[in-house]
Chain A
Amino acid sequence: MSAITSAIRQSIRTSIRSSFGITVDERPALITSLFSAGEQGAFYIPRPVVNGVQSLFQDAAGTTAVTADGDPVGLMLDQSGNGNHATQSVSAKRLIYRTDGTLHWLENSGTGQFFETAAIDFTGTNKMTVVAGLKKESDDSTGIFVELSPISDTTNGSFCLFAPSSNGSNSYRIFSRGTVLSAPQHGVFATAPDTAVISLIADIAAPILTLRRNSSVIQTSTGSQGSGNYGNNPVYIGARAGANLFFEGGTHSLVIRGAKTSAGDLDRLEQYTAIITGITL
């Protein structure tokens, strides 16, 4: 890493750290940078109040605020400006808001909890960026952290981030599909429990599918993803279509952006995600 790059990173890190937990911080600028050109997607930060606005609610309708460690969450507002809020209307399938006073996350026990969104229209893009701050608690069973469409294996225009896949044979795994599924094997590189920033970078047309962990490239695949754009489908967080492959662990943040993200913005986003996930890159 060059001295200049290092200095920029440190500057960003200091800026974010100095304002972490305060209303004036890096986050609004980051959201503006990522979504102000009309990019489709979502930016989830599981804190009760974000930028002065109540953002977690106990019920899907948004009538009862989440205020304390241990409250269940039925609605998590999208901070991107796209209105792609994540909901869960079944009481027992809500994730649990947790905090230690510094960090904030949603706890998923792997027994049926998940969020879903209304269909998000990604039909205008064949490029995707997903950055997640998470803690994977177990490698015993395949878990889906986030998936576009009910099943990315067979649904055109979809993606998926597993944590883990193949019951731990892949520590993490990513899928992207235009009309052809790209599903590389990544192997074991981060056994549970693992707290990390995991990124999926995909381009159907190029084709490129890159898995990053803590800003380092784990693997880039250039296998065909077929053609076309991403679809107009719900996003599921924590399960496959709400039915199985339940993720077990914590969700510290999740950003989904239907666009190619510049190296600088990706670095800022991963740095920001690392800080609110409680790790240092």
Chain B
Amino acid sequence: MKTEYIQRATTATPLAHIPDANQLALCLGESSADDKTFTSASYQDADGNLYSVASTVAKSVFAEMAGQPLQAPDHAPDMDLAAATRAQALLQINGGIASPDVIAVILGDRKESAQDHINALGLTRVEQDSV
């Protein structure tokens, strides 16, 4: 048996766009809890701009869905479609490094590593508490 999740998608959401990006995640995702996809902004670019990063496997329809007019899914019929559409307009798939004006996505094979994707986005982890 083969998985339907044949791609890895790594998304860098600028701090200012986290609420809208979470509505887009809710719309394209599989769970009513997907509005909690982007939380802490724990990555930064070379200029110190902050991003929340999510990296996970995705089905092949992900890119197709991301490019189509959005509809509220069954698991979130009352979601904020306007916010999700604003985030959708900022999507930049496989377009290079992250920047504060776009929601940058690296989409590749499922066996690619999240860390390689993060490197391709030009991001590094913000120093965190050292326990």
Contacts and interface: CB of A to CB of B under 8 A. Distances in A.
Interface string A223-235: 0000000000000
A92 B37 contact: yes
Contacts of B5: 70-72, 96
A140 B5 CA distance: 28
Interface in B30-59: 30-34, 36-37, 39-40, 42, 53-57
A124 B2 CA distance: 45
Interface string B82-125: 00000000000000000000000000001001110010000001
A164 B6 CA distance: 30
A165 interface: yes
Interface stretch (A18-26, A108-116, A204-212, A258-266): A108-116
A141 interface: yes
Contacts of B36: 90, 93
A69 B114 CA distance: 17
A127 interface: no
B54 A70 contact: no
A208 B30 CA distance: 45
A165 B128 contact: no
Interface of A is mostly: loop
Interface in A222-250: 243-245, 248
Contacts of A1: none
A111 B37 CA distance: 11
Contacts of A60: 31, 33
26 contacts: A59-B30, A60-B31, A70-B5, A70-B6, A70-B110, A72-B5, A74-B31, A90-B34, A90-B36, A91-B31, A91-B33, A91-B34, A92-B37, A96-B5, A96-B57, A110-B114, A112-B53, A113-B56, A140-B125, A141-B125, A153-B131, A166-B130, A173-B131, A243-B39, A245-B128, A245-B129
Interface of B: 1-6, 10, 25, 29-34, 36-37, 39-40, 42, 53-57, 110, 113-115, 118, 125, 128-131
Interface of A: 59-60, 67-72, 74, 89-94, 96, 109-113, 138, 140-142, 153, 162, 165-167, 169, 173, 243-245, 248
